[in-house]
C-alpha cells in the first residue's frame, strides 16, 4: 500500500469529538503522523511545545505570514493558528499517513491547494448535543454562545456536502466513529 504523503484532513466543530477521534485512530494502531499546528494562544495544562501545538508569539506568527511560511492560517477566538510548509515536509518524510486537524476554512483552503487530500468532517448528532458537550467540558456561557454561530455554520456545510466524508459522532458512539474514520482512511490510501 502506498501511503507516503497521503493527507487526511480531520476537522469538526467544537464539541464534535474530533480530538477524541484522532486519539482513537492512534490507539487502534493507524500508522500515521499528525501535522502540528503553530498557534499564538497560551499553553493549557499538560501542553508543551510540539504537543499538541507549536506555541509562538503573535509577532513571530505575523512575521511568518509576511514571509509566506504558512500553507494556511486563520485567526479565531483571539489567536492565530496555521500549518507551515516546513511542517508538511517534516511529516511527509516519515512515509506515514498524514492526519491534519484544522477548522472548516482551513480544510477548504487546503483542498483547493492540494486537491488529492481527503477531507473528513466529524460532526455531532445535533446542535443541542454539541452545546451540551461544550458545557460538560467546562466552557462558560459566553464561549458557548460564540461557538453556537460556528456550530450552525458547520452543520449547514455538512448538509451541503462540501467535504469528502461527513461522519456523525453519536453520543456514546466514539468507538464506532473511530472505526468508521479508520475504514475511510484505509480505503483511500
Write out the DSSP string of 86-113.
HHHHHHHTTTSEEEEE--HHHHHHHHHH
**Residue 160 burial by CB count (10 A; 0-12/13-18/19+): exposed, middle or buried?**
exposed
Question: Distance between CA 140 and CA 77 in Å, rounded?
Answer: 14
Per-residue confidence band for 24, with pLDDT thresholds at 50, 70 and 90: very high
* Span between the terminal Cα atoms of the chain, in Å: 7
Identify which has the larger pLDDT, 127 or 29. Answer: 29
H-run or E-run covering 123: strand 118-123
Report the SS3 class of residue 116.
coil
Q: pLDDT tens digits for 166-182?
A: 999 998 999 999 999 99
Where is mean pLDDT largest: 59-68, 110-119, 136-145?
Answer: 59-68
pLDDT at 3 over 90: no
Which domains occur in the chain, in start order?
7-187 (3.40.50.300)
Contact 4, 119 (CB under 8 A): no
Cα-Cα-Cα-Cα torsion 68, 74, 80, 83, nearest 10 degrees, comes to -50
Q: What integer pLDDT is reported at residue 1 of this predicted model?
A: 46
Report the SS3 class of residue 4.
coil
Question: Distance between CA 17 and CA 10 in Å, rounded?
Answer: 11
Where is mean pLDDT largest: 10-19, 54-63, 132-141, 147-156?
Answer: 54-63
Q: What integer pLDDT is reported at residue 146 of this predicted model?
A: 73
Residue with cell 499546528: 37
pTM of the complete model: 0.87
Per-residue confidence band for 141, with pLDDT thresholds at 50, 70 and 90: low
Query: 8 forms bridges with which residues in the sheet?
Result: 99, 118
Q: pLDDT tens digits for 59-81?
A: 999 999 999 999 999 998 789 99
Q: What integer pLDDT is reported at residue 14 of this predicted model?
A: 79
Q: Which of 70-74, 94-98, 104-108, 163-167 has the least mean pLDDT?
A: 104-108
Mean pLDDT for the stretch of residues 77-92: 94
Q: What integer pLDDT is reported at residue 139 of this predicted model?
A: 62
Q: Phi/psi zone of residue 4: left (φ > 0), alpha (ψ -120 to 50 degrees), beta?
A: beta
Amino acid at each position: 500500500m502506498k501511503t507516503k504523503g497521503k493527507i487526511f484532513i480531520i476537522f469538526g466543530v467544537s464539541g464534535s469529538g474530533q480530538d477524541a477521534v484522532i486519539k482513537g485512530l492512534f490507539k487502534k494502531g493507524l500508522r500515521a503522523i499528525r501535522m502540528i499546528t503553530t498557534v499564538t494562544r497560551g499553553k493549557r495544562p499538560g501542553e508543551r511545545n510540539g504537543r499538541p501545538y507549536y506555541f509562538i508569539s503573535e509577532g513571530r506568527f505575523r512575521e511568518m505570514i509576511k514571509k509566506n511560511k504558512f500553507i494556511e492560517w486563520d485567526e479565531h477566538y483571539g489567536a492565530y493558528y496555521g500549518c507551515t510548509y516546513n511542517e508538511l515536509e517534516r511529516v511527509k518524510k516519515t512515509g506515514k499517513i498524514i492526519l491534519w486537524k484544522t477548522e472548516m476554512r482551513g480544510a477548504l483552503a487546503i483542498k483547493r491547494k492540494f486537491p488529492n487530500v481527503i477531507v473528513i468532517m466529524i460532526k455531532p448528532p445535533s446542535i443541542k448535543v454539541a452545546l451540551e458537550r461544550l458545557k460538560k467540558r467546562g466552557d462558560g456561557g459566553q464561549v458557548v454562545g460564540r461557538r453556537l454561530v460556528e456550530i450552525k455554520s458547520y452543520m449547514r456545510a455538512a448538509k451541503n456536502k462540501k467535504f469528502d466524508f461527513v461522519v456523525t459522532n453519536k453520543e456514546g458512539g466514539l468507538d464506532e466513529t473511530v472505526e468508521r474514520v479508520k475504514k475511510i482512511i484505509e480505503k483511500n490510501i
